[in-house]
């Protein structure tokens, strides 16, 4: 068990070292806010979309569990709802993509 902890920390230090070097370099660019904004755009959009689609799928699966005969009728609105919630994550992706080369 202790070997696992030591191994984990060693791996973290090895992978974090180049990241620290990069971070020291990127803070020098004058529009670093755009870079953070682009990352946050898709990140937060993905967070909201994940929670929303999880709730939609959970509701659909509970409905099928209560009434297995209505599975076909529950599945179609679930797919439609998932696609509409997905589009909100896509708005964030489009903003992130548009900001991506601009810094």
79 binds another protein (CB under 8 A): yes
CA distance 8 to 23: 22
Comparison of 23 and 76: residue with beta carbon closer to another protein: 76
DSSP letters, 1-16, are: -HHHHHHHHHHHHHHH
Q: State the binding string over 24-63 for another protein (x if CB under 8 A, else -).
A: ----------------------------------------
Q: Give yes or no for a contact between 92 and 42, defined as CB atoms under 8 angstroms apart.
A: yes
Identify which range of 5-13, 47-55, 63-71, 86-94 contacts another protein by CB under 8 A.
86-94
Contacts with another protein, residue ranges (CB under 8 A): 79-80, 83-84, 86-87, 90-91, 93-94, 97-98, 101
């Amino acid at each position: 068990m202790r070997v696992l902890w030591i191994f984990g920390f060693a791996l973290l230090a090895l992978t974090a070292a180049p990241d620290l070097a990069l971070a020291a370099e990127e803070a020098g660019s004058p529009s670093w806010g755009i870079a953070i904004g682009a990352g946050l755009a898709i990140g937060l959009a993905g967070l909201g979309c994940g929670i929303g689609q999880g709730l939609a799928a959970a509701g659909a699966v509970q409905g099928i569990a209560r009434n297995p005969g209505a599975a076909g009728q529950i599945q179609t609105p679930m797919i439609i709802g998932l696609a509409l919630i997905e589009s909100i994550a896509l708005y964030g992706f489009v903003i992130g993509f548009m900001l991506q080369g601009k810094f």
